[in-house]
Amino acid sequence: MNGEKFYITTPIYYPSDKLHIGHSYCTVAADAMARYKRLRGYDVMFLTGTDEHGQKIERIATSQGVTPKQYVDKIVDGIKALWKDLDISYDKFIRTTDDYHVEAVKKIFKALYDKGDIYKSEYEGWYCTPCETFFTERQLVDGKCPDCGREVEKVKEESYFFRLSKYQDRLIEHIENNPGFISPQSRQTEMISNFLKPGLDDLCVSRTSFKWGIPVDFDPGHIVYVWVDALSNYITALGYGTEHDELYKKYWPADVHLVGKEIVRFHTIIWPAMLMALDLPLPKQVFGHGWLIIDGGKMSKSKGNVVDPKVLVDKYGLDSIRYFLLREVAFGQDGNFTNEALIQRINSDLANDLGNLVSRTVGMIEKYFGGTLPYEQDSTEFDTDLIKTSGETVKKFEGYMDKMLFSDALSELWALIRRTNKYIDETQPWVLCKDAEKTPLLAGALYNVAESIRIISIMLQPFMPNAPKAIWQQLNINDERLREWDSIRKWGLMAHDLTVKKGPALFPRIDMKKELEELETALKAAQAESIANKTAKEENGKEEFNEITIDDFAKIQLVTGEVIASEAVKGSKKLLKNTVKMGDETRTILSGIAKYYTPEEMAGKKVVVVANLAPRKMMGEVSHGMILCAEDADGNLSLVSNDKGFGGGFEVR
Ligand code: MSP
């Protein structure tokens, strides 16, 4: 045990009812690294969790008729269940709704304010709600979000700002003086030339137009910007900002923040600047991995190309999926996910190379020696090279793992697996067995193969939670010392008179054609089920949370209205400003319907208005009420009208 600490984090996930295989990629990688470090004797802290605040969550919850907390509570359980299915060995799971986190973030915000690094001003610019990101006019691409390509909203709010610009030079200096801080190198170049060199603007770090977030406790109404809230998790999870900060003292700074490439920017600019402002040490490394791509685009639920990790695991087994994710694509680069590639890897690397090696070895020991090798053994002329390859593989494997080059590490390991298979072909046990004088040679050869398998099984552990154990069972490796990491540096540790016992095939071969058809059906069924569940949940949710009494209904004052004028709201693509006559009263009511009705079409419309809604400010205009609309499955809006065309001011019941 070297006892040195190793702190690794994944991003904290937005609660989504269906995390896809792309999300699992990052967590599986972090898990492989955490397991590897534990095996190397490190004292590991592996953190993951959920990022639960923000306007996006608030809107979804509202649309489902539940509170944001009710919404996230249900989803977080599902996320934890998925990590269980994938055997993710995290040490801590943080939720940004956890009390200790909320309190610590308030303190962090206040500390930055007291220091003068946060100041109050007014924000006017663009906001992408799905990405929870602010953009300046020049950052937009064709008027849309440069990250996801979706519509952005103009926001104008009194806000707090973080003096990000102040840290620009220190950040550049830190990045340049610490090669490896941003990995891979290409991401460092991107951050410096695309973001840091052009100049940093101060960052808007509070919002006032919604409520679901951590309040700025010295200025009610302001909510801490969700990225400031989220990034802080890496230290609050360790107890930073509380009386119990022992874990913080022990594990911070993080050894590696593992993140997808699109959020490297937040982790290598905003987060280090926040830490600098707090006078805290910076993480040692931010590793930006690539995306798992399907059909040429990043996977996303909205694109309907979700690949359900649970379906894949149930069908092919956990080890195969974890292996595929980390073997197929060089970590850091984007890679395609296809079912063909997955089955191909299972058949060739797992069933053929690894599975066959184990089953033929155990099979031969049983066949030629009744399951137990004799003591008397001789070396063959091929031994030296096998033993040398094994030693070299260990070194290369460790070298790649230390750099998180998982695919390279696995490729080295498979070279040893293939070398071992080749050794069997070279020594030809099926020929040796025919000559009684050669029995010691035969026994020696099979011993070497078994020893090589033992060494391979130990290196497989970070990637595969199950196969190594199955191998140990078949080779009867019960002694802990034969399973320890350091035992792979020494050849010949297993007892020479080892006894084996054949078990089920580690990785059965798959009929590609049949499987592709079945898989397609299973994935479709899972998608259909998830949609059905969602609908059922929504319906149940409505019963559970939305049932109201007639007295509740009476609180809502619905009144007919007549739109007498309508105009677009400056700077907004969504909003129309309507002048609505309701009896004697005329009101200004804003509606997000500009995509569906022109101002000309609106004029003269007979509508239904929620009359006693609290006034709400949007884009500098105040709306006094809400015009009711229906929304169809494609998101088209239709005004709710009264079919006899009553004029304004009549009660709707
Ligand atoms: N909540 C933020 C992270 C805050 S960290 C302080 C977030 N959440 S996320 O749920 O959208 O994404 C979590 C991680 O999943 C990100 O690292 C993201 O890159 C990764 N992936 C999501 N889809 C992916 C693929 N298709 N392929 C690989 N990784 C992908 O961002």
Per-residue pLDDT, 416? 98
Reported as a pLDDT band with limits 50, 70 and 90, residue 300 is: low
| pLDDT-above-90 percentage for the chain | 70
Q: Is the pLDDT of residue 415 over 80?
A: yes
Please determine, for residue 542, whether its predicted confidence score (pLDDT) is greater than 80.
Answer: no
Q: Which two tokens stand for residue 205?
A: 């770090």
Peptide bond before residue 184 is cis, with ω within 30 degrees of 0: yes
Q: Calculate mean pLDDT across residues 239-260.
A: 97
Alpha helical stretches, state H, 317-438: 318-328, 339-345, 356-369, 383-402, 406-427, 429-432
Distance from chain centroid for Cα 113: 31
* DSSP symbol at 372: B
Q: Give the distance between the most distant pair of CA atoms in the chain.
A: 113
**Is the confidence at residue 526, as pLDDT, over 70?**
no
CB 227 less than 6 A from any atom of ligand 1: no
Mean pLDDT of the chain: 91
User: Which ligand 1 atom sits nearest the alpha carbon of residue 13?
Assistant: 10
pLDDT in tens, 148-176: 888 899 988 899 999 999 999 999 999 99
Query: Is-contact 40 485, C-beta < 8 A?
Result: yes
pLDDT confidence of residue 541: 43
* Residue 592: DSSP 8-state: S
The number of angstroms, rounded, from the C-alpha of 87 to the middle of its chain's C-alpha atoms is 15
Length of the chain: 653
State the distance from the centre of ligand 1 to the C-alpha of 261, rounded, in angstroms: 9
For residue 472 and ligand 1, the question of a CB distance below 6 A is answered with no
Given a cut of 80, whether residue 634 has pLDDT beyond it is no
Write out the DSSP string of 88-144: ---SEEEETTSHHHHHHHHHHHHHHHHTTSEEEEEEEEEEETTTTEEE-GGG-BTTB
Ligand 1 atom 28, closest CA: 291
The CA radius of gyration of the chain, in Å to the nearest whole number, is 31
57 lines ligand 1 (CB under 6 A): no
For 253, other C-beta atoms within 10 Å of its C-beta total 15
Q: What are the pLDDT digits (tens) for 43-90?
A: 999 999 999 999 889 988 998 899 999 999 999 999 999 999 999 999
Q: How far is the CA of 260 from the centre of ligand 1 (A)?
A: 6
pLDDT at 544: 38
What is residue 336's three-state secondary structure? strand
451-469: pLDDT as tens digits = 999 999 999 999 999 999 9
At which residue do the structure tokens 């499987």 appear? 515
Least confident of 36-50, 115-129, 363-377: 115-129
Average confidence (pLDDT) over 445-449: 98
The answer to whether the CB of 331 is under 6 A from ligand 1 is: no
Q: Which residues contact 481 (CB under 8 A, 6 or more apart)?
A: 487, 493
Judge whether residue 31 has pLDDT over 60. yes
Does residue 257 contact residue 267 with C-beta atoms inside 8 Å? yes
Return the percentage of the chain with pLDDT > 70, whole number: 93
Q: Parallel, antiparallel, or unpaired: how do β-strands 153-162 and 203-204 relate?
A: antiparallel
Q: Which of 281, 19, 409 is nearest to 11 (CA)?
A: 19
Q: What mean pLDDT comes out for the span 410-416?
A: 98
pLDDT of residue 4: 96
Spatial separation of the C-alpha atoms in residues 203 and 173, rounded to whole Å: 20
Residue 335: CB within 6 Å of ligand 1?
A: no
Predicted confidence at residue 304, as pLDDT, reads 44
* pLDDT tens profile 310-332: 888 988 999 999 999 999 988 88
Q: Whose CA is nearest to atom 17 of ligand 1?
A: 260
**Predicted local confidence at residue 19, as pLDDT:** 77
The single residue listed with the structure tokens 């899972």 is: 526
**Strand, coil or helix: what is 285?**
coil
> Mean pLDDT over residues 528-557, rounded?
60
